[in-house]
């Protein structure tokens, strides 16, 4: 048994890609996308016609409507391959606008339903800002499930759990990046690997908190830099993994030990926490890594959305 097969015994494996032609070989349950991944995909010859078809069929619509149709087209293609769910992201430029996020999310779900896809097979990805979390809470009340992304801090996870969101995506690799950069020459890679990796530690803390208090929100580790981060989180509810790392796991024939388990968290002496808006904003502000990486992530996704729009306008 290779490590990818072994991981699937403990964790739902999700493919982190817009390249749906790659998916079948890894047999993931779900798939996630984001603007950067879709931008990368449409610049490949095998995917360019898909974007051309969408624009040709909906040329009279606004650019944001065309964008949603393109994202949904990719999502439908992905769902032809995976048996589970696909995550489709709302425009990152709406990350601080609850009402606009709700509008776009409802439209995306409507497009999926019109394409014959059950809404239960779609997760709407929203940045884990206060405004995004409030939008997610309303969507969940409407039966539209959400994936709160760009999550770097326990306070974000706690607010998401209280909001009843379906799934969160804590970003392991970007937390690792921040701490490695902050440490500079003092960083010791061997000492900060595996269970001691700061990104792994963050996801582990969130997982244990959720399981200790019976919070039903699913934890999906994301944004991995190496195989060690993945194997250190074996047992997490889900892990979304890029194709190159999926291939790396599949190439290793070695045992894989489960690292996280709900039962282990059940007796932990943890404190239950709740946040109102002011307390959430202060807690986020106190976490320099989360504050910087959340802002950086929104800027990056917004920039790639604008690049994608430019390609669409050029057709």
pLDDT mean for each 10 residues of the chain (315 residues):
97 96 95 94 95 97 98 97 98 98 98 98 98 99 98 98 98 98 98 98 98 98 98 98 97 96 95 98 98 98 97 95
Distance, in Å, from the CA atom of 236 to the CA atom of 218, rounded to the nearest integer, reads: 9
Q: Which long-range contacts (CB under 8 A, 24 or more apart) does 19-22 make?
A: 19/44, 19/47, 19/243, 20/74, 20/77, 20/78, 20/80, 20/81, 21/46, 22/243
- Kindly report each contact of residues 43-52 with a partner whose C-beta sits within 8 Å and lies 24 or more positions away, as own/partner: 43/311, 44/19, 46/21, 47/18, 47/19, 50/74, 50/77, 51/311, 51/312, 51/315, 52/315
The sign one gets for the Cα dihedral 117, 120, 121, 127 is positive
pLDDT of the residue at 307: 98
pLDDT at residue number 137: 99
Q: Which residues are catalytic?
A: 125
For residue 188, the model assigns a pLDDT of 98
Do residues 139 and 88 make contact, with C-beta atoms less than 8 angstroms apart? no
Give the pLDDT of residue 30.
98
* Torsional sign, CA 276, 128, 81, 118: positive
Could you tell me if 50 and 277 are in contact, meaning their C-beta atoms sit under 8 angstroms apart?
no
CA distances (Å), origin 171, targets 36, 168, 224, 279: 15, 10, 8, 22
Of 168, 155, 170, residue with least CA distance to 276:
155
Provide the terminal-to-terminal Cα distance of the chain, rounded to the nearest Å: 47
Reported in sequence order, the residue ranges of 29-166 that DSSP labels E, i.e. its strands, are: 30-32, 86-89, 122-127, 146-151
For the record, the structure tokens of 273 come out as: 């926490």
- 14, containing H or E segment: strand 12-16
Say what the pLDDT of residue 310 is: 97
pLDDT at 171 (0 to 100): 98
The domain locations on the chain are 3-313
The dotted CATH code for 3-313 is 3.20.20.70
């Amino acid at each position: 048994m290779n490590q990818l097969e072994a991981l699937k015994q403990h964790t739902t494996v999700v493919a982190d890609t817009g390249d749906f032609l790659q998916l079948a070989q890894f047999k993931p349950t779900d798939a996630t996308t984001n603007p950067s991944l879709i931008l990368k995909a449409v610049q490949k010859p095998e995917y360019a016609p898909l974007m051309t078809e969408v624009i040709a069929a909906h040329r009279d619509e606004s650019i944001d409507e065309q964008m949603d149709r393109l994202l949904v087209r990719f999502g439908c293609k992905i769902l032809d391959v995976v048996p589970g769910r696909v995550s489709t992201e709302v425009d990152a430029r709406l990350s601080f606008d609850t009402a606009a996020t709700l509008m776009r999310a409802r439209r995306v779900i409507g497009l999926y339903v019109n394409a014959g896809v059950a809404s239960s097979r779609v997760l709407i990805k929203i940045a884990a800002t206060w405004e995004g979390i409030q939008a997610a809470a309303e969507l969940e009340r409407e039966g539209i499930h959400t994936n709160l992304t760009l999550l770097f801090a326990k306070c974000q996870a706690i607010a998401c759990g209280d909001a009843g969101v379906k799934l969160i995506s804590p970003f392991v690799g970007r937390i690792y990046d921040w701490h490695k950069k902050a440490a500079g020459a003092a960083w010791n890679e061997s000492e900060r690997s595996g269970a001691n990796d700061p990104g792994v530690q963050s996801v582990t803390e969130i997982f244990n908190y959720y399981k200790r208090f019976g919070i039903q929100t699913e934890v999906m580790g994301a944004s991995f830099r190496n195989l060690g981060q993945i194997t250190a989180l074996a047992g997490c509810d889900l892990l979304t993994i890029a194709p190159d790392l999926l291939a790396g796991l599949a190439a290793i024939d070695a045992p894989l030990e489960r690292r996280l388990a709900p039962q282990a968290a059940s007796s932990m002496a943890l404190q239950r926490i709740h946040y109102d808006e002011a307390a959430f904003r202060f807690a986020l502000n106190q976490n320099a890594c989360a504050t910087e990486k959340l802002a950086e992530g929104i800027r990056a996704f917004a920039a790639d959305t604008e690049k994608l729009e430019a390609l669409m306008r050029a057709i």
